[in-house]
Amino acid sequence: MTLFLQQLVNGLSLGSIFALVALGYTMVYGIIKLINFAHGDIYMVGAYIGYMAITSLKVGLFPAIIIAMITCAVLGVVIEKIAYKPLRNASRITSLITAIGVSLLLEYVMMYFMGAGVRTFPDVMDKTKIEFAGLSITSAQLLILGTTLLLMLLLQFIVKKTKIGKAMRAVSVDADAARLMGINVDRTISYTFAIGSALAGAAGVLVGVYYNTISPLMGVTPGLKAFIAAVFGGIGVIPGAMFGGLFIGVAETMVGVYWSSLIKDAVVYIILILILLIKPSGILGKNVKEKV
């Protein structure tokens, strides 16, 4: 039982990272129906920005997270304006291929400037362990869980209560009707990219702290898993991405411990296949017919 609870904590920590990244996938998909395959690389950029902020600017962890979030927000907005906006009326496959192109561009630009190798993320936290009821929780895990919880509450507040959040939901439902309300759709899309990318940026720094290493290709697999998490929870549905991320993180961790760490990745893809077969709209997704 203690082992199970311990693995649950580990799984939730990993799942928090997936959830933060999955939110960006789901929000962007919700508003422009684009699967932004470059999103995992925004997370990678966030990790590097955090790294540089700590090593070069000598700031502490929290300022580093903020700097990474802001930089990624700007990056996300710029990518949308340059790469995706001109394709707003193009076929989905065109945008998808463009997103893959942006993803590769980010990876190789980062390699060019920072090298292809793995870098060690600076030690910014004392690695204390908190022992509690037989469980041991590291300070990095507490940081991840706490930061994720805070960011999710903040996101819920923005989406539910603020004007920009209501505009985001309105544009997701019906962009033309939103225009008739006087909502600036382009600006709303920019805000969505900014918020989604900022969350990924925070996740990047957190993962640097957690695993101690970062690399230009670090976003590929977690990006894919976060995407699966978003689909699992119901793409376009914000609570779905939160739930999906945590679920995938816990599932992967449990399988790794109780079964075999060799197949823990495979399990994530099996989950994707199962959900697509059984409930393609995702666990929390509504079975709505696509509008024509």
Partner 1 sequence: MLKIENLNIKYGAIHAIKGIDLEVHEGEIVTLIGANGAGKSSILRAISGLVKASEGTISFMGNSLNKVSAQNIMKMGISQVPEGRHIFSGMTVLENLELGAYQRKDKEGIRKDLQAVYERFPILEKRSRQDAATLSGGEQQMLAMGRALMAKPKLLLLDEPSMGLAPILVREIFSIIEDIHKQGTTVLLVEQNARMALSVADRAYVLETGKVVMSGTGKELAASEDVQKAYLGG
Applying CB under 8 A, among 57, 104, 154, 181 the residue interacting with partner 1 is 181
Number of residues that bind partner 1 (CB under 8 A): 16
Q: Does 184 bind partner 1 (CB under 8 A)?
A: yes
81 near partner 1 (CB under 8 A): no
What tokens appear for 207 in the block?
A: 């993962």
- In the complex, minimum distance from the CB of residue 263 to partner 1, in angstroms, rounded to a whole number: 38
For β-strands 135-138 and 129-132, DSSP reports them as antiparallel
Shortest distance (Å) from residue 246 CB to partner 1? 23
Per the listing, tokens 């998808």 go with: 96
Report if residue 169 touches partner 1, rule: CB under 8 A.
yes
Q: Which of 118, 150, 173, 266 binds partner 1 (CB under 8 A)?
A: 173
For position 168 contacting partner 1 by CB under 8 A, the verdict is no
As a whole number of angstroms, the distance between CA 200 and CA 194 comes to 10
Q: Where are the beta strands (DSSP E) in 125-244?
A: 129-132, 135-138, 213-214
Rounded distance between C-alpha atoms, residue 110 and residue 44, angstroms:
9
Do 11 and 254 form a contact (C-beta atoms < 8 A)? yes
Q: Take residue 177 and report the two structure tokens written for it.
A: 């009707």
The CA distance from 112 to 203, in Å, is 23
Residue 266 structure tokens: 């495979």
Question: Hey, which residues does 214 pair with through a beta bridge?
Answer: 119
Contact call for residue 57 and partner 1 (CB under 8 A): no
Under rule CB under 8 A, residue 163 binds partner 1: yes
Of 167, 198, 229, 238, which lies in the binding site for partner 1, with binding defined by CB under 8 A? 167
User: By CB under 8 A, is residue 179 in contact with partner 1?
Assistant: yes
21 binds partner 1 (CB under 8 A): no
Q: Closer to partner 1 at the Cβ: 88 or 169?
A: 169
Residues 9, 146: contact at Cβ < 8 Å? Answer: no
Which range binds partner 1 by CB under 8 A, 121-129, 170-178, 206-214, 264-272? 170-178
Residues lying near partner 1 in the complex (CB under 8 A): 163, 166-167, 169-170, 173-174, 176-184
